[in-house]
Chains A and B, each alone.
Chain A
Amino acid sequence: MANPLALYTHYVSISLRSQMQYRVSFLLGTLGQLFSTGVEFIGILALFDRFGSLNQWTLAEVAFFYGIVNVAFAVTDMLSRGFDHVGQLVRSGEFDRMLLRPRSTVLQLIGQEFTLKRLGRFLQGGAVLLWAALYLDIDWSPSVAALTVITVCCGACFFLGLFINIGTVSFWTTETLELMNVLTYGGIEASKYPLAIYRAWFRRFFTMVIPMGCVTYFPVVAILGRSDPLGTSLAFQYLAPLFGLFYFILSLFIWRIGLRHYRSTGS
């Protein structure tokens, strides 16, 4: 009798084996991912070459922000492609098939695909993070190390929440998916720089409405051992990642509302 975790492991092994049947496609996809995140980082390098610094943040510090957000996002991106496809699954009838099975739809969707080619982003982000961590003079106390791990985990949960939101929206319309990209990809685009450089309305939006800053900015300030130009306390910086976790839980509730809507309209 399979518990959810065992079932998930089974799903992953199956997904990996299917992808390994198309090795060339996998390799090119991974390289493509590496390129598309790579050019962004080259862009950052070019800007630092021109401007020297970004409001007192150094290149290595920005690289650390960049690395954290990309690693956390890459983890989610590998797990949660299924939510991106909800619209498609609904149209093809595959989603009905999931409802015919005695398992939660969230588990089945996460299990639908383990996208190995997103490894490209993970490797690229990880390399930048590693370089920044070695270059910067970070005090690796146990609490800072733990905070780093928690930040990446809560960040991954937060992004998973966003992906679940995307899936939820596609119960109503599949046409607005691009809008959700502002939140996911736009948020990541923004998070590669410290949140402090943005205007107040924007910072507030990505802290209070969509708590992306709580997993990509505040804890990182604490890890870097800097004082926050936004004036938050160290305690807040340590607790902030939890908001990412809350967001994820909230997304699950909203998913259930979407599911109820789908099952009453069938569209």
Chain B
Amino acid sequence: MQSFVLPYTAVLSARFRMILQYRAAAIAGFVTQIGWGAIRVMAMEAFYRSTSAPQPMHLEDVVTYIWLGQALLGLLPWNPDTEIRNMVRSGTVAYELVRPVNLYTYWFSRSMAFRLAPTFMRSIPLAILALLFFGMQAPASPEALLFWLAATVGAVLLSTALTVILSITLMWTIAGEGVSFLVSPVIYFLAGMVIPLPLFPDWAQRVLDILPFRGICDAPFRLYMGHIPATEAWEVLFHQVIWIVILVAFGAWLLSRATRRLVVQGG
């Protein structure tokens, strides 16, 4: 068992070490996230000052939503794995086919590390600061905390599955680069990072409910603050699991297409 998992854990650990070296990068990212969050919080405060009509979310919830988003920004699948991009550019991606491992699983672990390592460095200190000073609230209840954690695991898998797909598209070189250019702003938007999803018009909610992106930020965040009641938590998790299965299957299929193409064209 150990020898089977080893290559995947090794790539995870190597990635972590590499990213930890960039001390200043971590601090810089941290400050960036706070600055960005502050801007968004202030803008939302101003909007809430403008009206007394009831809104789908209280301002305090919006603030918590924004800070959770800033803390977990790194989880968002907004770009392909940069290492895979470099491999494709330099042509060394062909060596990946020679490794005695399942390529999809290998890339999945690698992309997971790519998402998790920087997030890990930033999220905890940022969340602590936001909780203490910036008006972020604690989880609504122990139950909410539990469901949020479960949904966050789902979000990581969902996000990784999407990252892998973005990385695989790079193997169609120019078109692939274009896919990430076009797709990432849309993912960013539909996940709820531009404005919280509940603030979208009501007609848009039905569409957003179906799409997978809600499961990356919006749904876990709202479980955390109790905006989605614990009774509906299972629906969120179920929605995530379905999309994870679909995206993993699609990714594996896409990768087999891509590698076949690579073999036929000789890289």
Contact = CB atoms under 8 A, between A and B. Distances in A.
A46 B201 contact: yes
B23 A197 contact: no
A225 interface: no
Interface stretch (B42-50, B144-152, B160-168): B42-50
Contact of A177 (B28, B43, B55, B182): B28
A178 B181 contact: no
A176 B27 CA distance: 8
A32 B28 contact: no
Given A22-B174, A35-B186, A182 B31 contact: yes
Interface stretch (A50-58, A98-106, A136-144, A214-222): A50-58
A46 B174 contact: no
Contacts of B47: 47, 50-51, 54
A85 B24 CA distance: 18
A96 interface: no
Contact of A42 (B25, B35, B39, B189): B189
The B contact surface, by secondary structure, is helix
Interface string B187-225: 011000011000111001000000000000000000000
B24 A50 contact: no
A54 B25 contact: no
B36 A199 contact: no
A202 B188 CA distance: 25
A204 to B, nearest CB: 13
B239 to A, nearest CB: 22
A55 to B, nearest CB: 5
Contacts of A202: 38-39, 42
Contacts of B32: 178-179, 181-182, 186
Contact of A178 (B25, B48, B51): B25
B46 A38 contact: no
Contact of A43 (B22, B36, B175, B189): B189
A30 to B, nearest CB: 9
Interface residues of A, number: 42
A189 B43 CA distance: 10
A27 B201 CA distance: 32
Given A175-B28, A179-B32, A186-B35, A35 B185 contact: yes
A239 interface: no
A258 interface: no
B91 interface: no
B195 A197 contact: no
Contacts of A13: none
A114 interface: no
Interface in A180-235: 181-182, 186, 189-190, 193, 197-199, 202
Contacts of A199: 42
Contacts of A31: 178, 181-182
A50 B48 CA distance: 10
Nearest to A48: B47
Interface in A23-37: 24-25, 27-29, 31-33, 35-36
Interface in B33-88: 35-36, 38-40, 42-43, 46-51, 55
B49 to A, nearest CB: 6
A-B CB proximity, top 3 nearest: A32-B181, A28-B178, A36-B185
